[in-house]
Amino acid sequence: MEVEVPREGGVAPREGLLIEAKDVSRVYQQGQTQVRALDRVSVAFTAGEFTALAGPSGSGKTTLLNMIGALDKPTQGSVVVSGQDVADLGRSQAADFRLRHVGFVFQAYNLLPVLTAYENAEFTLSLQGVPQAERRRRVMVLLDRVGLGGKLDRRPDELSGGEQQRVAVVRALATAPTIVLADEPTANLDRKTGAALLDLMLELQRERGTTFLFSTHDPLVMERARRIVRLDSGAVVADERTG
């Protein structure tokens, strides 16, 4: 079954170079110590990739995702998304960029506890001003597809960890983003639930041409990735095409 979701709001054509990090470093100050989370990283991604950023904790995976998603700014270098250096965006411009073009899936789910599963899933669409009928159409298609069509009215504390993560994935995908950034999306899931969720995202990537970037050390993600970019100590140490 193909999910019909409008492709409006993309920041780039579905073909060609989409993301390019050039000589990117990120240094954090912790007391008297400087921590170099990224060290002169240069890497590019074309539209429609399903890519894993792999490496141990502290290798720079999440920091790189945050740069691409305009959640953080590099200390040095540039991060260009469809010709726009997102590091140059002001706070409100960066917020609008994220709202319109990027879907986030966080390890901690980041669901609003007072909202139901349905309300959480449609939240970003409501911020975008999408009409109610269209919001419901998009959200219901995806909630049914992830097996949550019967749990629309449950709040996060009434859902399992796997169910909460599925709601978070629906929230990210319902806006038909050009890019989905997923930070350790399977870390809190059992193997069966994690595999099913990844297979869903892979299906949607094939159907829509969405670009998926995962921060992970999970073999389940790397088995499905078409490319694995390995980081260690803030630097890219390997870049492997797997399919």
Pick the closest to residue 230 from 67, 61, 66, 55 (CA basis).
55
State the pLDDT at residue 11. 38
Say if residue 4's pLDDT is above 90.
Answer: no
DSSP 86: G
pLDDT tens, residue by residue, 206-234: 888 899 999 998 899 999 999 999 999 99
Pick the closest to residue 7 from 134, 177, 205, 124 (CA basis).
177
pLDDT tens, residue by residue, 86-126: 989 999 999 999 998 899 998 888 899 999 999 999 999 99
Burial string for 215-235 (b: 16+ CB within 10 Å, else e) reads: bbbbebbbebbbbbbbbeebb
State the pLDDT at residue 14. 39
Least confident of 3-7, 57-61, 72-76, 189-193: 3-7
The helix or strand, by DSSP H or E, that contains position 212, with its residue range, turns out to be strand 211-216
Residue 52's pLDDT band (cuts 50, 70, 90): very high
State the pLDDT at residue 8. 37
115 touches 170 (CB < 8 A): no
Which residues 6+ apart lie within 8 Å of 182 measured at CB? Answer: 104, 105, 172, 201, 212, 213, 214, 215, 216
State the pLDDT at residue 9. 37
Say if residue 12's pLDDT is above 60.
Answer: no
Where does 17-238 sit in CATH, by number? 3.40.50.300
State the pLDDT at residue 3. 35
Q: What percent of the chain has pLDDT over 90?
A: 62
| Mean pLDDT of the 29-49 span | 92
* Domain limits, the chain: 17-238
SS3 184: coil
Pick the closest to residue 237 from 36, 28, 54 (CA basis).
54
